[in-house]
Amino acid sequence: MSLLSVKDLIFTKCQIIVHTHLIDQKMKLVIFCVTLVAFANLANGKVLSDPVKSYENHQVLRVKIGSEEASNNLSEIAGVTFWNEGRIGGYADIMVAPKDITQVTENLIKQELDFSTMVENVGDLIRLEKVPAINRNEKPSSEHSMTWTEYHEQDDVESFLDYLANTYDFVEVESIGESYEGRPMRVVKVCKNGCGNKPAMWIDGGIHAREWITPAAVTWMMHELIDNDADHSDLTENLDWYILGIVNPDGYAYTKTNDRLWRKTRSPNDGGVCSGTDANRNWGYHWNNGGSSDYGCSETYHGAEAFSEVENRNIRDFVSKHKDQIKFFNTIHSYSQLVLLPWGDTTDNAPGYDKLKNLADKSNEALYAVHGTRFDVGCIPCLLYIASGGSMDWALGEAGIPYSYGMELRDTGRYGFLLPADQIIPTAEETWAFHQNAARMIADEFA
């Protein structure tokens, strides 16, 4: 028996054990089992050859941000990596390596910053996230390798896109170019009687590599929209849909192979030691106007110039070509449970604010009705922080798309970017309810 099958055997056995135990025992068992699998991998030589960044015993702390001074003090403490910068009057989530915990907590106390521990060990959550959810009612398709009970690689997503295009005559897949490292970027186009004759919806996920729930939820919505078209055919009769599951495929691949918490693209920064631009600071509308960094190693590096990133240019060119048709634009992130309205660089109301807000509020009610998940609606700096060069600002300000949003999906920080796989479907269901309502309002206004 090969070592790989030893690993698979342990995994299968462990899953059976897990499912037959009480809920409060489940987490411990899962961790135990996944550790066993990790040992099997080690014996297999896998871990030895993979330069995977370890987050063993890294902690996430939630820090109260009472004032601008508190926020500045926090960002100057060495050893602090932000998961969420937070807004004044809210909370920041910071990750700290085990070697820095003592020094960071001493500093927080010295600065009189209140904090609590959100995640004891990021390594545990990374292992937990690999555990597939129990598949209750849908059997995996024989025609593609995508499911929504675990997180998948891009190849599985692409096989699903091929299946959609080959199965439905009202679905086309259009290549809009390649990523920096040459991965495909393919938009699913859902158009009955040909594209271009109706108001259109744009949805994208995965601009930030580590926000794994977003390609998962966006591809599930493709499945719901298309495979279950008969349940809500008005949505495809009255509208065209353009959907991109993974905006940043290089970063996404890198989170699978090297660093689970990578955020940026993977293009090199000239002369620098660090790679990657924050693709959500690289759009050419009020680019580099606050809340982004000149420093190539920063998580919010805005790039050498607006649209330095090929991924951004590919989307810009596609969306620009259809800008008169596209009425709704939503770029999907995680985490924090927010519906974000433009702008990112000012708290001034965007043009059409009342209508933007009304559509978001109504659609948020539909979202809430599904699983009782609470999202807040508001402008980016109103709920988070100043962030210029984001895609939704470009979509409204430059492309003139009237209903432009960003969404931050589950959760509010218990798992953060590392949402367990059994939350993929519920998250996708509520996000879909938001879009279904939004689509009907767009159709009412424009169709």
Active site residues: 408
Omega before residue 411 within 30° of 0, cis: yes
Q: Which of 62, 192, 302, 333 binds Zn ion (CB under 5 A)?
A: 333
> Does 261 engage in binding with ligand 0X9 (CB under 6 A)?
no
Nearer to Zn ion, 333 or 435 (CB): 333
Angle between helices 23-43 and 122-129 (to 10 degrees): 90
Contact partner, 342, from ligand 0X9, Zn ion, none, Cβ < 5-8 Å per class: none
How many CB atoms are closer than 10 A to CB 447?
A: 14
Contacts (Cβ under 8 Å, ≥6 apart) of 166: none
Nearer to ligand 0X9, 198 or 263 (CB): 263
Beta strand ranges found along 217-325 (DSSP E) = 240-244
- Alpha-helix runs per DSSP H in 50-121: 68-76, 101-110
Per-residue tokens: 445: 């206004």
From the list 8-16, 180-188, 308-316, 382-390, the region that binds ligand 0X9 by CB under 6 A is 382-390
Residue nearest to ligand 0X9 (CB): 406
Q: Which of 199, 390, 402, 420 binds ligand 0X9 (CB under 6 A)?
A: 390
> Does 210 engage in binding with Zn ion (CB under 5 A)?
no
Min separation Cβ 261 and Zn ion, Å: 12
> Does 284 engage in binding with ligand 0X9 (CB under 6 A)?
no
Min separation Cβ 45 and ligand 0X9, Å: 36
Contact partner, 299, from Zn ion, ligand 0X9, none, Cβ < 5-8 Å per class: none
Min separation Cβ 10 and ligand 0X9, Å: 35
Nearer to ligand 0X9, 37 or 438 (CB): 438
What three-state secondary structure class fits 295?
Answer: coil
Contact partner, 392, from ligand 0X9, Zn ion, none, Cβ < 5-8 Å per class: ligand 0X9
Alpha-carbon dihedral 242, 246, 247, 249, rounded to 10 degrees: -150
Min separation Cβ 142 and ligand 0X9, Å: 35
How many CB atoms are closer than 10 A to CB 159?
A: 15
Contact partner, 429, from ligand 0X9, Zn ion, none, Cβ < 5-8 Å per class: Zn ion
Report d(CA 60, CA 298) in Å as an integer: 19
Report d(CA 39, CA 168) in Å as an integer: 44
Nearest Cα to Cα of residue 259 among 210, 201, 205, 213: 210
Nearest Cα to Cα of residue 288 among 269, 271, 308, 274: 308
Q: Which of 30, 119, 319, 340 binds ligand 0X9 (CB under 6 A)?
A: 340
Q: Are 435 and 330 in contact (CB under 8 A)?
A: yes
Residues making contact with Zn ion (CB under 5 A): 208, 333, 426, 429
Residues making contact with ligand 0X9 (CB under 6 A): 84, 208, 211, 280, 331, 333, 340, 344, 380, 384, 387, 390-392, 406, 408
